[in-house]
């Protein structure tokens, strides 16, 4: 019987990935479509992906699929066959290839069944996520955002916006998509008759957000097809003016893709120009924050003197102190 879960430690899996000599390709994809039996779909897809050495995170729900993965370059076509053949709705779906990729983004395959592929907090039974705004290509995005009165809205979290965003984009300051949706409606209520363009990293959040805005009476709603990833790829391919500045935050080991040379963020400790996110070295904190090389050396990769002192303690003592703590915090 094929295995359906990973059984090896993270430490060993990461070491194996780092020893790999073949280049991996980092890819994201999503699709909203009905899945009647998510658990069975998940198990079947796990077998398919494991067979072609896919690493990454894949979320499956009754409303669809959302994945960020890496695959050995030689298995790219086999991966496409595995994904496209999993369901007729997935045949030919867009694959967003990373724009600044060292192939070391993931080291294990995690595939989970969830209530939603993106937690949105929507419990309105009259909301139809299939009634979305109009897709914009990179060229169309540049054209419409060059027109007076167009509103551009970033539907990513505040720490993503901080290191890079489209020119003149409005931030909806929040840590979660579920908080952003009602905030966006309230912030933009004066612009219900204006062109509203929404974007996110790969398209999955802004597609649903565009449907939510239409549901709340906005008349002219657009969203960037394939998100920042597809916009950057097409802009470079077609030699278009690049309207994204800074770095594109990504949810894997890289924590960012360099899009333009501008550094628009600052070290959270010393205030120097910097857009390098890191997680506090203290496992009991693991705060996500921006830290320059100078502060990283002085603070041993920690967010505070307190965490630095804790990180120097023996592992047995650190393990005791970690019990009951909240991991994975975000700098406010």
Indicate if 109 and 138 belong to the same structural domain.
no
- The answer to whether the beta carbons of residues 254 and 276 sit under 8 Å apart is no
- Asked if the structure places residue 234 within a domain, the reply is yes
Q: Based on the structure, what is the number of domains in the chain? A: 3
Q: What sign does the dihedral 228-115-60-24 (CA atoms) show?
A: positive
- Spot the catalytic one: 7, 200, 280, 307: 200
Range of the domain at 280: 266-332
Q: What string of H, E and C letters represents the secondary structure of the chain?
A: CCCCCCCCCHHHHHHHHHHCCCCEEEEEEEEECCCCCHHHHHHHHHHHHHHCCCEEEEEEECCEEEEEEEEEHHHHHHHHHHHHCCCHHHCCCCCEECCCCCCCCCCCEEEEECCCCCCCCCCCCCCCCCCCCEEECHHHHHHHHCCCCCEEEECCCHHHHHHEEECCCEECCCCCHHHHHHHHHHHCHHHCCCEEEEECCCCHHHHHHHHHHHHCCCCEEEEECCHHHHHHHHHHHHCCCCCEEEEECCCCCCCCEECCCCCCCECCCCCCECCCEEECCCCCCCCEEECCHHHHHHHCCCCCHHHHHHHCCCHHHHHHHHCCCCCCCECC
Give me the pLDDT at residue 119, please: 87
φ/ψ (deg, to 5) at 45: -70, -35
- Asked if the structure places residue 178 within a domain, the reply is yes
Indicate if 61 and 145 belong to the same structural domain.
no
Q: What is the CATH number of the domain that holds 139?
A: 3.40.250.10
Q: Is 200 a catalytic residue?
A: yes
* Single pTM value for the model: 0.80
φ/ψ (deg, to 5) at 206: -70, -25
Indicate if 142 and 105 belong to the same structural domain.
no
Indicate if 208 and 172 belong to the same structural domain.
yes
- Asked if the structure places residue 122 within a domain, the reply is no
- Asked if the structure places residue 169 within a domain, the reply is yes
Indicate if 142 and 217 belong to the same structural domain.
yes
- Asked if the structure places residue 102 within a domain, the reply is yes
Give me the pLDDT at residue 321, please: 64
Last residue of a domain, one of 78, 113, 148: 113
- Asked if the structure places residue 3 within a domain, the reply is no
Give me the pLDDT at residue 283, please: 83
Indicate if 234 and 139 belong to the same structural domain.
yes
Indicate if 104 and 174 belong to the same structural domain.
no
Indicate if 166 and 234 belong to the same structural domain.
yes
Give me the pLDDT at residue 250, please: 85
Last residue of a domain, one of 82, 113, 144: 113
pLDDT, tens only, 100-116: 777 777 888 999 999 99
The mean pLDDT values, 10 residues at a time, for the chain of 332 residues are: 61 69 89 94 96 95 93 96 96 87 81 92 88 96 96 95 97 91 96 97 93 96 95 96 95 85 96 96 90 96 93 74 55 42
pLDDT, tens only, 2-57: 556 666 666 766 667 667 778 899 999 999 999 999 999 999 999 999 999 999 99
- Asked if the structure places residue 77 within a domain, the reply is yes
Give me the pLDDT at residue 162, please: 96
- Asked if the structure places residue 194 within a domain, the reply is yes
Q: What is the CATH number of the domain that holds 22?
A: 3.30.70.100
Indicate if 103 and 23 belong to the same structural domain.
yes
């Amino acid at each position: 019987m094929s295995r359906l879960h990973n059984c090896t430690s993270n430490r060993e899996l990461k070491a194996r990935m780092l020893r790999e000599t073949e280049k991996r390709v980092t890819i994201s994809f999503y699709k909203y479509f009905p899945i009647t039996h998510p658990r069975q779909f998940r198990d079947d897809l796990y077998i398919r992906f494991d067979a072609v050495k896919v690493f990454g995170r894949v979320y499956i729900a009754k409303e669809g699929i959302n994945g960020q993965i890496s695959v050995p370059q030689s298995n790219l076509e086999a991966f496409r066959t595995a994904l496209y053949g999993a369901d007729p709705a997935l045949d030919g779906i867009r694959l967003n290839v990373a724009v600044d990729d060292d192939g070391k983004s993931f080291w294990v395959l995690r595939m989970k069944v969830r209530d939603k592929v993106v937690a949105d907090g929507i419990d309105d039974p009259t909301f139809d996520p299939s009634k979305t705004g109009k897709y914009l290509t990179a060229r169309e995005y540049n054209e419409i955002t060059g027109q007076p009165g167009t509103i551009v809205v970033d539907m990513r979290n505040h720490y993503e916006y901080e290191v890079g965003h489209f020119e003149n984009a409005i931030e909806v300051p929040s840590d979660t998509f579920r908080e952003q949706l009602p905030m966006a409606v309230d912030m933009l209520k004066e612009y219900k008759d204006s062109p509203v363009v929404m974007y996110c990293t790969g398209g999955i959040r802004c597609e649903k957000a565009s449907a939510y805005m239409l549901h709340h009476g906005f008349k002219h709603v657009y969203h960037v097809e394939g998100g920042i990833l597809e916009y950057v790829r097409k802009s470079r391919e077609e030699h278009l003016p690049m309207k994204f500045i800074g770095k594109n935050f990504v949810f894997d080991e890289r924590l960012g893709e360099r899009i333009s040379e501008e550094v628009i963020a600052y070290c959270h400790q010393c205030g120097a120009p910097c857009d390098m996110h890191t997680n506090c070295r203290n496992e009991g904190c693991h705060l996500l924050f921006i830290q320059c090389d100078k502060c990283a050396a002085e603070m041993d990769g920690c967010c505070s003197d307190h965490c630095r002192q804790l990180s120097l303690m023996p592992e047995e003592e650190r393990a005791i102190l970690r019990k009951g703590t909240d991991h994975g915090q975000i700098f406010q």
